[in-house]
Amino acid sequence: MTPTRIGVISLGCAKNLVDTEVMLGHLDAAGCTFVTDPAEADVVVVNTCGFIEAAREESVRTILEAAALKKSGHLRRLVVAGCMVQRYRGEIERELSGEVDAFVGLDELDAIVGAAGVRSDLPVLGQTPPVASRYLYDATTPRRLATPPWTAFVKIAEGCDHTCSFCAIPAFRGAFRSRPADDVVREADALARRGVREINLIAQDSSHYGRDRGDGTGLAGLLERLDGIEALRWIRVHYLYPNTVDDALVAAMAALPRVVKYVDIPLQHAHTDALKRMRRGGSTESHLKLLAKFRSAMPGAAIRSTFIVGFPGETEAEFDALLAFVREARFDHLGVFTYSHEESTTARDLPDDVPAELKAERRDRLMELQQHVAFAKNEARVGSTSEILVEGAHPETEHLLVGRLPTQAPDVDGCVLINDGFVLDPAAGDPRVVPHARPGAFARVELTETAGYDLVGRLLGAA
C-alpha cells in the first residue's frame, strides 16, 4: 500500500512549530511520507495561530487556499489544528466544516493520525479539549524536526500565569507548567546525538521556568545542565519576562560557554502609565537598569525586544517616551506590533481610542528609528571576526552562502551573506565545497560590509 503523503503548513511562532513537529512525529511513526508542496499531498495539515486578529486572518486564508487543492490537486483530506481550534473550536467547526475534514486541538496532537485518516482503526479525534489546554509534551513524545538538522527548538514549559491585559494566551494555552529538568536534558541530549548543534529554548515566560514545580528547579540550573552536553555548540534562550529575571539567571547566561550572548526580552512598552494599563509593571528606568545588568555581565550581547504601539489610551507623550527609550536602549533586534482588541482580555473593555491609521504611523516611526540603530550597530561590526553557523546556499543564488552569528536567532533576525564562494549539494561530494562551508558547519568569518539588517562576510576557516 502506498504511504499517505502529508503536507504540513505551520503558522505562527516557534512554540507552534514544536506542536507541528509533534504531529509530524506521530504521522512519521504511522508510516506517512512528507511533501513540501501541498499540491502534491494526499492530506494537508494546517497548524493555525490564534494569537491576534492578523494571525487568525492568515490562518483562515491558508485553510481556504488548502481546501481549494481538493479540486486542483491530489488532496483528499484537510486537517486544521492548533491554537485557533483550541480557542474558537465551535465557531470554526460551524464555519469551515464544509472545507475541513477534522479539527485537532492543543490537547489532541496525538490524535493526528486518526484525524488524517491514515489508520481507520483510530478515532478521528480525541476527546473535545477544555478551553484552556493542559497538554505538555516530553522527551518520549514522537517528534520529527521541521528545522534544518543542525538546529532545533526545545519547549521547556507551556502556558502562562501572567495577566497581561492585551494577551489571551492563558485562556487557551492554559496555566504555566514546566517540564521536569531531567526530561528537558534527556531531550536535548537525544537531539545532540542526532546531530543538532544549536538548541533554542522557548516558553511563554522562559525565565519563570521551574518555579511552578516547587522543587528548586530554575532556568539557571537548567542551563548549567544543558551546558554539560558536549555535542551542543550553541544554546539560546528566548522569551525572558523582565519581572522574572533574577541575578542567578544573568550570571549563568554570562558564565556558561555554550549559552550564546543573546537576550530576548519582550518589554512591550516603556512608559509607566502604558505599562500599568498593560498590567506589565516596570518603567523606562527599570528597563534600562535591567538591560545594563545584562550588558555588564555579557559584553557584546545582542538584545532583542518587542513592543506594542497604539494600546488603548496611548498618548503622544507616552509614544514619545517609547521612542526615546528605544533610542537610548539601542536594541540589536526589534519587533513592533500594532494593538488589536482580543477576546478574553481585560484590555478589550478599554476604549480603543487610537485610530488604526495612527497605530500604523507609530509602528512605522518606531521601526524607522530602530532601522537607524540596527544599521549603525551593523556598521560597527565591520572589520571584526566571529564564529558563524553556515546554513547553506542563498535561496536566490547558489553563489552566496548564508549563515548566522551567535547573536542572530533563526527566522527572526538578520543573517550573514558569504560572498567568496558557492555551495552545491554537499552529498554530491563536489571538491569545491570545503568542509567548513558545508551547511551545519561552524566557521570563522570576517565581517566586511553591511547589507541593511544583514551583514556580509568572508570565510576564514573552520571554527
Task: pLDDT band for 2, please (50, 70, 90 cuts).
Answer: confident
My answer on whether 392 and 375 are in the same domain is: no
Q: pLDDT tens for residues 292-321?
A: 999 999 999 999 999 999 999 999 999 999
Query: Is the pLDDT higher at 435 or at 395?
Result: 395
Burial (Cβ within 10 Å: 0-12, 13-18, ≥19) of residue 427 = exposed
Percent of the chain with pLDDT over 90: 66
What is the reported pLDDT for 77? 92
Domain that holds residue 23: 5-115
My answer on whether 375 and 447 are in the same domain is: no
Q: In this structure, is residue 130 part of a structural domain?
A: no
Q: pLDDT tens for residues 65-109?
A: 888 888 877 899 999 998 888 888 888 888 888 889 999 998 889
My answer on whether 210 and 309 are in the same domain is: yes
Number of domains in the chain: 3
- HEC readout, the chain: CCCCEEEEEECCCHHHHHHHHHHHHHHHHCCCEECCCHHHCCEEEEEECCCCHHHHHHHHHHHHHHHCHHHHCCCCEEEEEEHHHHHHHHHHHHHHCCCCCEEECHHHHHHHHHHCCCCCCCCCCCCCCCCCCCCCCCCCCCCCCCCCCCEEEEECEECCCCCCCCCCHHHHHCCCEECCHHHHHHHHHHHHHCCCCEEEEECCCHHHCCCCCCCCCCHHHHHHHHCCCCCCCEEEECCCCHHHCCHHHHHHHHHCCCECCEEECCCECCCHHHHHHCCCCCCHHHHHHHHHHHHHHCCCCEEEEEEEECCCCCCHHHHHHHHHHHHHHCCCEEEEEECCCCCCCHHHHCCCCCCHHHHHHHHHHHHHHHHHHHHHHHHHHCCCEEEEEEEEEECCEEEEEEEECCCCCCCCCCCEEECCCCCCCHHHCCCCCCHHHCCCCEEEEEEEEEECCEEEEEEEEEC
My answer on whether 312 and 431 are in the same domain is: no
Give the separation between CA 327 and CA 321, rounded to whole angstroms. 10
Q: pLDDT tens for residues 10-45?
A: 998 899 999 999 999 999 999 999 999 988 999 999
- Of 148-162, 324-338, 436-450, the range with the lowest mean pLDDT is 436-450
Give the separation between CA 392 and CA 379, rounded to whole angstroms. 24
CATH code: domain of residue 435: 2.40.50.140
Q: In this structure, is residue 225 part of a structural domain?
A: yes
- Mean pLDDT to the nearest integer, 324-350: 93
My answer on whether 96 and 159 are in the same domain is: no
- CA-closest candidate to residue 457, choices 381, 397, 406, 395: 381
CATH code: domain of residue 339: 3.80.30.20
Are the CB atoms for 191 and 158 separated by under 8 Å? Answer: no
My answer on whether 172 and 240 are in the same domain is: yes
The whole-chain average pLDDT of the chain stands at 90
- Mean pLDDT to the nearest integer, 186-205: 96
CATH code: domain of residue 79: 3.40.50.12160
Q: In this structure, is residue 14 part of a structural domain?
A: yes
What is the reported pLDDT for 88? 84
Q: Cα-flanking dihedrals φ and ψ of residue 269, to 5°? A: -165, 175
My answer on whether 393 and 367 are in the same domain is: no
My answer on whether 293 and 395 are in the same domain is: no
- CA-closest candidate to residue 214, choices 242, 177, 240, 244: 177
My answer on whether 50 and 98 are in the same domain is: yes
